[in-house]
Amino acid sequence: MQMIFLKKTKIPQILFSILVLSSCGKDKKTDTATTPTVEDTLPKMKPLGPEKKISQAYKNSVTGRINHFYNKNWPNNSMNGSFLVARNGQIIFERYNGFANKNEGTKITANTPVQIASVSKVLTATAVLKLVNAGKIDLDQKVNTILKTFPYEDCTIRMLLDHRSGMRNYAYFTDRDKSVWDRHNQLTNKDILDILATKDIGLESRTGTRFSYCNTNYAMLALIIEKITGLKYKEAMSEMIFKPLGMTNTYVFDDDKDRKKIVPSYKGNGVEIGFDYLDNVYGDKNVFSTVRDLLKFDRARNSPDFLKPELLKQVYTGYSNERKGTKNYGLGIRMINWETGQNFYFHNGWWHGNNTVFTRLIRETATIIILGNRYNSSIYKGKQIASVFTGKEDTTSLEE
């Protein structure tokens, strides 16, 4: 009787155990079947793998010339900032000098992010181009199909990228007239769009008729990135570019979080420059980075799978050649087209006391990056180091 009783009581216990285990399995399966996040669907930059190794003999042959150039233009290490020259993604020469923060006595190092000013436009353009490449937007799509209140009907995404929108610079239509904007308030990208939509801000020139470099274009591109990705610009840039490339010292300035911790900038005499009402606008500026992080970015932009060939060709096509000349502008990149057929691609930056240079010699696979946080216009001469790689000694067109 005792054995029969035990058998009878074990059956429901076994069934109960099976049900519990089955239920646990179902829960586990449900947990792993996650819905893709917005971040998962974004097109992302990919790091470039190893490139042809540069020999020590080659490094030795060019380092002396670069060092001479550096000492000639910034004697006694007078440049306050970061300086890097690379070939095939390998650093040939780098130098870090001066204060990150004079009051705190901290020095600039390889890991010190500084405001890269308009070099930010190259990164903004890259995010937009990746969205185009992924088929999420079209280069010749009208801006007002994305930003519904954008008032200029003929303006396309391409015209924002190549500065042919005809729009006026937001710094000029918000700086005096209080009926347009009160400078006691911080201006944002959304504010700029609202002003364009409601304040009858006239065009500087008819859309699509001529090149005119304008920060408003890239403030609007940042809003397009936000609209298409469903993320804030700083988050989209982090997910699409900074994180995938391991740019651990790069971020978009957030006034609420970063004002007290960023590396400040200085006038030429060393006086610190404070914030103003334009410091919240991003896309045209407000990325903080290092020369080493920007080298990672540069290499990724030159990887074989960066963009489809037909789109990449359009990036490096000049769109500002109303008059014959060597200077031109592509999709988010400046260029110099010499008569020899040699092309030089770069972007300068300036904001407050920051002067910056981002340069790529595609044929020579060389990179020159300079970031300064104390005003020094001679930083723009740094592009002349290109002669080390091109053999072209006449570099007067590279001074600006």
Is 80 exceeded by the pLDDT of residue 301?
yes
Question: What are 122-156's pLDDT values in tens digits?
Answer: 999 999 999 999 999 999 999 999 999 999 999 99
Note the pLDDT of residue 321.
80
Q: What is the Cα–Cα distance from 109 to 263, expressed in whole angstroms? A: 12
User: Cβ–Cβ contacts within 10 Å for residue 7, how many?
Assistant: 8
Note the pLDDT of residue 34.
66
Note the pLDDT of residue 43.
97
Is 70 exceeded by the pLDDT of residue 87?
yes
Note the pLDDT of residue 255.
86
Write down how long the chain is: 400
Note the pLDDT of residue 221.
98
- Best mean pLDDT range from 28-32, 175-179, 251-255, 368-372: 368-372
Is 50 exceeded by the pLDDT of residue 22?
no
Least confident of 117-126, 246-255, 321-330, 340-349: 321-330
Q: What is the Cα–Cα distance from 38 to 218, expressed in whole angstroms? A: 23
Question: Rounded to the nearest 10 degrees, what angle do helices 215-229 and 189-198 cross at?
Answer: 110
Q: What is the mean pLDDT of residues 316-324?
A: 87
Partners of 345 in beta bridges: 335, 360
Question: What are 182-201's pLDDT values in tens digits?
Answer: 999 999 999 999 999 999 99
Q: Over pLDDT 70: what percentage of the chain? A: 89
Least confident of 20-29, 170-179, 282-291: 20-29
What does the mean pLDDT of the chain come to? Answer: 90
Is 60 exceeded by the pLDDT of residue 9?
no
Is 50 exceeded by the pLDDT of residue 340?
yes
Classify residue 336 by its DSSP letter: E
Q: What is the Cα–Cα distance from 329 to 320, expressed in whole angstroms? A: 6
Note the pLDDT of residue 37.
81
Note the pLDDT of residue 71.
94
User: Cβ–Cβ contacts within 10 Å for residue 329, how many?
Assistant: 20
Closest CA to 100 of 90, 113, 119, 89: 113
Instruction: Look at strands 343-351 and 334-337 and give their pairing.
Output: antiparallel
Note the pLDDT of residue 11.
46
Q: What is the Cα–Cα distance from 72 to 191, expressed in whole angstroms? A: 45
Question: What are 215-266's pLDDT values in tens digits?
Answer: 999 999 999 999 999 999 999 999 999 999 999 999 999 988 898 889 999 9
Is 90 exceeded by the pLDDT of residue 276?
yes
pTM for the whole thing?
A: 0.89
Q: What is the mean pLDDT of residues 383-389?
A: 93
Q: What is the Cα–Cα distance from 151 to 133, expressed in whole angstroms? A: 26
> Could you write out the DSSP letters of every residue in 78-129?
---EEEEEEETTEEEEEEEESEEETTTTEEP-TT--EE-GGGHHHHHHHHHH
- Tally: H helices and E strands in the chain: 12, 14
Whether 160 and 125 have beta carbons less than 8 Å apart is answered as no
Please tell me the number of Cα atoms within 13 Å of 108 on its side-chain side: 28
Q: What is the mean pLDDT of residues 45-50?
A: 93
Note the pLDDT of residue 33.
53
Is 90 exceeded by the pLDDT of residue 12?
no
Whether 244 and 44 have beta carbons less than 8 Å apart is answered as yes
> Chain-centre distance of CA 93, in angstroms?
23
Question: Rounded to the nearest 10 degrees, what angle do helices 120-133 and 291-301 cross at?
Answer: 30
CA torsion 84-384-271-77 (nearest 10°) is 60
Note the pLDDT of residue 395.
53
Note the pLDDT of residue 398.
54
Q: What is the Cα–Cα distance from 185 to 107, expressed in whole angstroms? A: 33
Q: ∠ at Cα 297 (328, 44), nearest 5°? A: 105
User: Cβ–Cβ contacts within 10 Å for residue 194, how many?
Assistant: 13
Classify residue 142 by its DSSP letter: B
What is the layout of strands, in order, in the sheet containing 251-252? Answer: 114-115, 287-289, 251-252
Q: How far apart are the first and last CA of the chain?
A: 102
What is the layout of strands, in order, in the sheet containing 327-329? Answer: 90-97, 81-87, 366-372, 354-361, 343-351, 334-337, 327-329
Is 60 exceeded by the pLDDT of residue 78?
yes
Is 90 exceeded by the pLDDT of residue 270?
yes
The tokens for 269 are 């005499």
The tokens for 331 are 């999709």
278: confidence class by pLDDT, cuts 50, 70, 90: very high
Note the pLDDT of residue 393.
55
Note the pLDDT of residue 6.
41
Is 70 exceeded by the pLDDT of residue 20?
no
Is 50 exceeded by the pLDDT of residue 10?
no
**Gyration radius of the chain over CA positions:** 26
Note the pLDDT of residue 8.
43
